Amino acid sequence: MILLTPSQRARLLANGRMMDADHIPVVKFFNPFGQGTWLATELDEDGDILFGLADLGYPELGSWSLSEMVAIRLPFGMGIERDLHFEGRFPISVWAEVALVEGSISAAERELYARTQREGGAGCERRGSGRP
């Protein structure tokens, strides 16, 4: 699977040029066999270093290598996948806050979309920079 479409790559690069903004995640990656979820908001000019919220057992803001993610080999010849149906909707600061309270990105996703349904489709407001 291609982890980044040209459109997603362009958006991530553009976000990377505006580092002080509280970006909405562009793409969600996940391990189809277990732990590992990543929400990417920015891509460095080098085309390899992503920034966003990573959850390998504990959600935290940080950077990781796209090439290392692509190189991960899982059972049955699979690798890390991109969630084709993901819609960020909320700034990364909101994702990080809810993921810390709920314990994971997956639990945060359930909570944020439940909030959206309860509030009739309204999103959460932006809250400062997503960068620590």
| Rounded average pLDDT per 10-residue block, the chain, 132 residues | 94 95 98 96 97 97 97 95 95 98 97 88 48 46
Cα separation of 26 and 87, whole Å? Answer: 8
| 51 Cα distance to chain centroid | 8
pLDDT of residue 122: 52
Burial class (CB within 10 angstroms; exposed 0-12, middle 13-18, buried 19+) of 71? exposed
pLDDT of residue 1: 78
pLDDT of residue 126: 42
pLDDT of residue 19: 81
pLDDT of residue 125: 46
Cα separation of 15 and 131, whole Å? Answer: 12
Cα separation of 85 and 36, whole Å? Answer: 17
Q: How far is CA 29 from CA 3, 57, 66, in A?
A: 8, 15, 10
